[in-house]
Each structure stands twice: as C-alpha cells, then as structure tokens.
Structure 1
Amino acid sequence: MTRCRLCGSTALESVVDLGATPPCESFLAAERLDAPEPTYPLHLRVCTDCWLAQIPPLITPEETFSEYAYFSSYSSSWVEHARVFVEDAAARLGLGEDSFVVEVASNDGYLLRHVVDRGVRCLGVEPSVNVGAAAREAGVPTLTAFLSPETGAAVRAEHGPADLVVANNVYAHIPDVIGFTQGLRALVADDGWVSVEVQHLLTLIEENQYDTIYHEHFQYYTVASAIRALASGGLTLVDVELLPTHGGSLRLWARPEEAAGEPSGRVADVLAREKAAGLQELSGYTEFSARVAKVRRDLLRFLVEAAEEGKTVVGYGAPGKGNTLLNHCGIRPDLLPYTVDRNPYKHGRYTPGTRIPILPPDRIAADRPDYVLVLPWNLRAELVEQLSYVHEWGGRLVFPIPELSIVEVER
C-alpha cells in the first residue's frame, strides 16, 4: 500500500504486523482440507496526515461477501441491541408510517425486522446472497447489492429518499470509503439522518483488541478520521455515542452538510479523549505491537501448560476475530481440538489456516472439558450466562483479550 485510501498521502506508518493469514471468514469444507489455501499479509498502518488506520485492500468485498458465513441473528444480545436502537431512533427522529428507513449491509434482517414490526416502510441493501435470502424469508424487503453512488441513486429513484440510513458494522468493510460515503448521501433525504456504527480505534488500541484486525476490515476509525471520511461524501458529523458493542464502538450521527448545524458537545469530548490518548500523533501507536506480542505469549503458555498437565481445552465460537487470533498465535488442533458455534452453516467446516473443526454447541456438555476458550470475547456477559452449565463439572472459561483471564462460572 503506497497511498492512504482517504486522503492520498504516502505518509503511512506501521502499527502492527500480524504476518500472513487466510481471509477470516473463509471456513473450509472437509473436501477442501487437502487443497492450497491462499494467505495475505495482515499489516495495520496509520496515515500520519489524516490519521486513518488501514490495511491494504488485498481482497475484494465481492470475494468476502457474495456468500457470507455470519448471520447476525445468532447473537441474542446483538438482536436486542438492534431492537433498542430502532426504538430510540424512532423516538429521536419521529419515525412513523410515512417514514422510510434503509439499512446498508442489513444481513439477515436482524435490525429491520424491528422496523417492519413498527409498520415503517424499509429496505435492506445486502450484498450476500445467502443472508439476504434469509432476510426476505423473515419478511424484510431486501435488495441484493453492494452500495455505490449508482446503487444509492437507483434506490432513491425507485423508493424515494430515506429519512434514516443505517450502516452498522460496515463502514470498516469497504475499501472505496469515498464511493461508499457518496452512496450513503445518495440514499438519504436532504434533511435526513445517517447512523453509522463502527469499532472505535481508541478501544482497539487501549484494550489490545488486535484480533479485530482482519482482511475484511479495511480501515479503523477514530472520530477524527470518521469526520474526514464522512465529509468526503457530503455528510457532516453532528453527534456521537460511545457503545460497548464489539469491545467499544462509535455510533456516528451524520446529516447532509447543508442540514447539519453545529455538532453536539459529545463530539468535542471524544475528540479530546482521542487526542489525550495520542491518536493524532505516532506516540499513541508505538507500544501496541509489544502488547499484542504479550497476548500471544500468554495464551500459548496457558495452552501448552494445560496440555502438559493433561487438561482439556476446547473453543467456543468461530467468529472472524477468532481466526486472526488463532492464526497469529499458531494454534492448531493439538492445542485446541475443536471449537463450537451456534451457526449451523459452520458445522462440519474448519477454521481457515488453523484447520480446527467446528462442531455444534452441545458437544461441550458431552465432553465436559476443563477449560472453554471463548473466542467472541466481545459477548462476554452473554456467553458467561450461556456457558454457566460448565460449572456442573468444574469447568472454567478463558478469555484471551484484553489479557488472559480465567473465569469460574456459577449457575
């Protein structure tokens, strides 16, 4: 990568180099285990002109999202998060029967189904054929397409301008951030609102959340860099919320620049926090690589010692972030014989690169392991409750991020 994809600068500095890994959602069917598996460098850099953190666009969204293994509805807490958002947005913006809501990257309809339930007209724009089909089966109108300025204009011409455009956990997944932002502007009414949720680079750095760096996450935002990205498409940030989701996320409220007005005090507050953390100078990034290396050493030490003591360790979850962690640490079935996942799509498949089998969740109760390594650590509260049954045989949960933590659960 020679130039920043947002501002075009060549002033890119290394933040952390995680080696080369396969794309994190390319789960392997059994018949592919003897076939070659492509890997790509995973090296995070930051632009010292606009402070957008980014990785090179070595894979395309079409390769990742045309058929996708992630279905949002399998996370109960995420569905509840979406329900609360819809309820709050409806009250904040006065959404009613005459309103129109569009969600970009609407997945399986996990959020828009709450809009449908309120009797508000809506449309999902979802590139993945398989999850878009699931949304339509659930009664959520869904267009199979990637968002571009042309797609946004076509949707607006057919359905009218949107009072609210939602883009949750997609703004990092688009290498053409300027074109995507122009697509958002094409969708939204001139006096409408755009709500974007994206992981916050501040918490990624502070909490060692390096496993959220993977090839389908092309960029990593602060409020400062998000302001510049939104402006590239004619949108102005007017408010921001700090959310606990995904280990720490931003909810960015933006409007067309001509309708924006003055930003809220919360925008200035978060900008000040980012500046205090050194994220607008290189000093805020220099120690991250060393802290990442310690996460790796601590997890490997635990797994090796458990194996030498005859203890059994299995995984819970097969999220994309887990595959960054497993590959960076070099964890194979000798240290983690399998992981489980609630998503039937992944059952019988294998994790990319590390080739760890993915089984149904009931395998844990059948095998009664000593430890369960929780890979979707961002769902900690939900999963401590879901996995409380491991207490029956004295099992314990292990969380690798932000630092190794072994938890005894109680019913």
Structure 2
Amino acid sequence: MQDIERVDRCRVCGRDDWLDIISFGSAPLANGLLDPAADDADEQAYPLDVALCRECGLMSLRHIVNPEKLFRYFVWVSSDSALMTRHRQRVFGWCAEKSGMAAGDLVVEMGSNVGTQLALFQERGLRTVGVDPARNLARIANDRGVETVADFFGPEVTASIRETHGAAKLVMGHQCFAHIDDVHNVLDGVDRVLAPDGTLVIEVPYVLDLLDENQFDTIYHEHLSYYSLTTLSRLFASHGLPVVDVERADVHGGSIVVFAAREGSGRRPSARVADLLALEERRGLTTARPYLEFADRTRRTIDAIGDVVRGLAAEGKRIAGYGAPSKGSTLLQMCGLTPAEVQFCSDTTSFKQGKLLPGSRIPIRSPEQARAQAPDYYLLLAWNYAEEIIAKEQAFLDAGGRFIVPIPQPRIVDSALTASA
C-alpha cells in the first residue's frame, strides 16, 4: 500500500455514493510527534476530508494512511485515569452479564494496547490473548504478563490463536474498530476464533455525540470511521452477527459498546437496541442534515476557539495546553494556533515529553515543568477528562489560574467552577 490512498467504495456496504461533509485540508498525522531539531520541510501532510455514505450512513474519511505508518509504533497508551478505570470495571461487568463467561473461558482483544483491560479479565480467572500491531505496546503488555501478538487482527492471527488456545467466549475491541479500513477482514477474523455461543463486543466513539458536541478535533487520520448503531448493525449482520445489546458510555466524548452474537444463538435483542435505533431514526442519522449542520457549527467553533486564545495572548496572558492527546494536536492545527499563542503543552506521557506537536510545533513538557512555569490559562486539550482534571487542579484555579474548555464551545472556567462565554 502507498502512504495514502483515496477511499472509493464504502468499507461497510461497498457503495460509491458519497456526500462531502467537510474538508480540513491537509494535515500532519496527529501522533506524528517531532524532535525539536526536525526540519519543517520533512513533515508530511495528508488530506483530511470527511464524507457520508448515502447508502448505509457511515461517516468516513475519504483517504487512508498506510496502517503500517500509523500503528506499528503507537504513542497512545491506555489511560489509568479514574474515569477510565471505572469504565473498564463497567465493561467487565457488562461482558460478564451479557456473555455468560466464566473462569477459564478465553477472551481475545483486538487493539489491546498495553493489556490494561485484559489484565482485569485475568484477575477474574479468565484466559486472555491480545492482538495489537504496535510492537512497542505489545512488548509492554507481554512484559506485564498479558500475552499479546504484535500483529494486525485478522483470520490468520485468530486461526493461530484458536489452534493454540481454543475458541473464544468473548472477542472484544475497545476504541480501535474505528481505526480499521478492512472491517470485513477483521470480522472474518472474529468468525475464525469466536465460539458458537460467544459474544463480540465492540466499543466505538458514538457519531451522535460527536455531532451534538461539535467534537471536530476527534477527526484525524487514525479515525477512519464514525459509527452509528444503525451502520454497525448492518455491518455485523452481514457477517452473521446480529446485535443483541448496546450500552452508552461517557468516555472519549461519548461512546457506544455494542454486543453481537452468532445467528442461531437464540439470543434476542434487548430493548436498548430498538430504542437507540429509533433515536437515530428520529435524529436523521442516515440523512444529510445533521452532518451538514455539524460542518457549519464546526467552522464557527474553530473560529471562536482561535479568537478566544489569540485575544488572551494579545492581552499578554500566558497560555499552555493541558494534555497533548491526538485530539489536542488536531485542535491546535485546525485552529491555527502556534507557540506564539500556546507556549507549551503539559502531558504525563514520558515519551511525549521533549517532543514537538505536529503542525503547530508546540513543545511538550512534563507536569513538573509546567507547574514551575504555571500559565495564566490552560487550554484543556484533554477535554474528555474535564471534570476529573479541573477537580485535580483546584490549587491552580485557587491561585488565579483559569481553564479554557474548547468543546463543544469555548468557555472559561475559574476557581468557582463557573463558566462564561
């Protein structure tokens, strides 16, 4: 595969009937961190255009960056925040309730990262195998005792897992399915390893939350697809895996956790499935309107964030970014912000520290360095953890510092946790 390819046919339904939604031009990879000595001319940029499949309602990027380039070395590591720790416990509970799994059963996870979710299953007596293409993350997972195959999930890998470990009671993928182009190959891989009475569990950011909350910064090259339950139901059913349950989750800006089982399993869909499909029908998610309205709001929100930050910088205020997530890198690029406005970003991930964010070239510093040079304002790039972060940083607020929370609309939070436009 070349470094970049254009999407002609929808990866879900195979049709070539697209409605253009919004173009963000060309942008560097959101996780393409730079060494300070890197030459600007060496930084590659790729098209970032969004379209809607008129046939099945999939919102998708129109170009694919070679996954070898994106995922063989990956800088995002599963968060140990209180929010995500609670969520992983909740996912385990849902899986136990809906799959009937018991100690000794096999759980296989695609995109398993450093094995944080699988470790929780291990603690409860289940056997686990992870599959993740990032060699650096697979090494960490194996070192912590979570068996992980450093490869892309598909039929060959899962056939080997089944031969070695047996059939899986549960196959899961958390926040990775939206990264995958050949979803049919992945579901063929599920078919190779899933037991006759097994359950497929896929968690994805929910397109309805993205639209409602103006989450434009979650659109970057890793995120190829933006799913509704309607579209996922069609996709899974085409592989003999009807959806039997769904849960909404308050992570990553709003997600859905979708449960599917083999045809003939006798499992009837829960009322939650019909309720969410009906909501999507009422909201017109298979029509153009909500997507075009999102595009209009996005353009206005990008302008508003830039105006707030540049206005404060012009007043002599010192501004830094809180967190250096992929979405933060994207937001800074889309809003045209540079070190002239945002002096640095603070991030707890050690191998991000000392690097520059792509496109904006804003330096990343450790939290200790940030506290030593406390800004007047933090632009909260990790806004999906806003409640947790603001509570943690009460001393910063009490000292007169403020947060700019950019999504869904920029607002300023002071020590009294009051917001103003």
Query: Fold-level match, TM-score > 0.5?
Result: yes
| 3-state DSSP of counterpart to 1:72 | coil
Q: Which residue of 1 aligns with 2:3?
A: none
- Distance change in 2, residues 1:272/1:92 (3 Å): closer
Q: Which residue of 1 aligns with 2:191?
A: 185
User: In 2, distance between residues paired with 1:52 and 1:235?
Assistant: 18
Q: Which of residues 377, 388, 392 is equivalent to 1:382?
A: 388
Q: Which of residues 3, 6, 10 is equivalent to 2:12?
A: 6
CA contact (8 A) 1:313 1:336 kept: yes
Paired residue type of 1:358: I
| 3-state DSSP of counterpart to 1:234 | coil
Q: Which residue of 2 aligns with 1:335?
A: 341
> Offset at 1:260?
5.3
> Offset at 1:277?
1.2
| 3-state DSSP of counterpart to 1:259 | coil
Q: Which of residues 36, 40, 51 is equivalent to 1:45?
A: 51
> Offset at 1:56?
2.5
Q: Scaled by the length of structure 1, what TM-score is found?
A: 0.96
> Offset at 1:409?
3.6
Q: Which of residues 216, 220, 238 is equivalent to 2:244?
A: 238
User: In 1, distance between residues paired with 2:300 and 2:257?
Assistant: 30
User: In 2, distance between residues paired with 1:2 and 1:372?
Assistant: 41
* Residues 1:281 and 2:290 are matched in the alignment: no
> Offset at 1:306?
0.6
Q: Which residue of 1 aligns with 2:177?
A: 171
Instruction: Report 1:115-264 matches (<5 A).
Output: 115-259=121-265, 261-264=267-270
CA RMSD of aligned residues (A): 1.6
> Offset at 1:261?
3.3
* Residues 1:354 and 2:360 are matched in the alignment: yes
User: In 2, distance between residues paired with 1:409 and 1:226?
Assistant: 42
> Offset at 1:177?
1.2
Q: Scaled by the length of structure 2, what TM-score is found?
A: 0.94
User: In 2, distance between residues paired with 1:169 and 1:315?
Assistant: 24
CA contact (8 A) 2:357 2:364 kept: yes
Q: Which residue of 2 aligns with 1:20?
A: 26
Q: Which residue of 1 aligns with 2:409?
A: 403
Paired residue type of 2:103: E
Describe the superposition over 1:355-392 as per-residue Cα deviations: whole angstroms up to 9, x where unpaired.
11011012232122111011111111221122222124
Q: Which residue of 1 aligns with 2:302?
A: 296
* Residues 1:100 and 2:106 are matched in the alignment: yes
Q: Which of residues 53, 64, 84 is equivalent to 1:58?
A: 64
Instruction: Report 1:58-97 matches (<5 A).
Output: 58-97=64-103
Paired residue type of 1:56: R
> Offset at 1:410?
5.8
Moved more, 164-173 or 111-120: 111-120
CA contact (8 A) 1:14 1:45 kept: yes
Paired residue type of 1:282: A
| 3-state DSSP of counterpart to 2:178 | coil
Describe the superposition over 1:295-338 as per-residue Cα deviations: whole angstroms up to 9, x where unpaired.
11111111111112111110011111112211111111101011
> Offset at 1:407?
0.9
| 3-state DSSP of counterpart to 1:323 | helix
Paired residue type of 2:172: V
- Distance change in 2, residues 1:73/1:283 (3 Å): closer
CA contact (8 A) 1:327 1:353 kept: yes
User: In 2, distance between residues paired with 1:378 and 1:229?
Assistant: 28
User: In 1, distance between residues paired with 2:37 and 2:190?
Assistant: 40
| 3-state DSSP of counterpart to 2:50 | strand
* Residues 1:269 and 2:269 are matched in the alignment: no
CA contact (8 A) 2:47 2:63 kept: no
Paired residue type of 1:336: V
> Offset at 1:96?
2.8
CA contact (8 A) 1:42 1:214 kept: yes
> Offset at 1:58?
2.6
| 3-state DSSP of counterpart to 1:235 | coil
CA contact (8 A) 2:404 2:413 kept: yes
User: In 1, distance between residues paired with 2:258 and 2:35?
Assistant: 38
CA contact (8 A) 2:49 2:63 kept: no
CA contact (8 A) 2:348 2:367 kept: yes
- Distance change in 2, residues 1:260/1:179 (3 Å): farther
Describe the superposition over 1:181-240 as per-residue Cα deviations: whole angstroms up to 9, x where unpaired.
221222211110111100111111111011111111111100110011212333111111
Paired residue type of 1:351: L
CA contact (8 A) 2:398 2:415 kept: no
CA contact (8 A) 2:104 2:125 kept: no
* Unaligned runs of at least 5 residues, structure 1: none
Paired residue type of 1:134: I
* Residues 1:317 and 2:351 are matched in the alignment: no
CA contact (8 A) 2:158 2:190 kept: yes
User: In 2, distance between residues paired with 1:215 and 1:75?
Assistant: 25
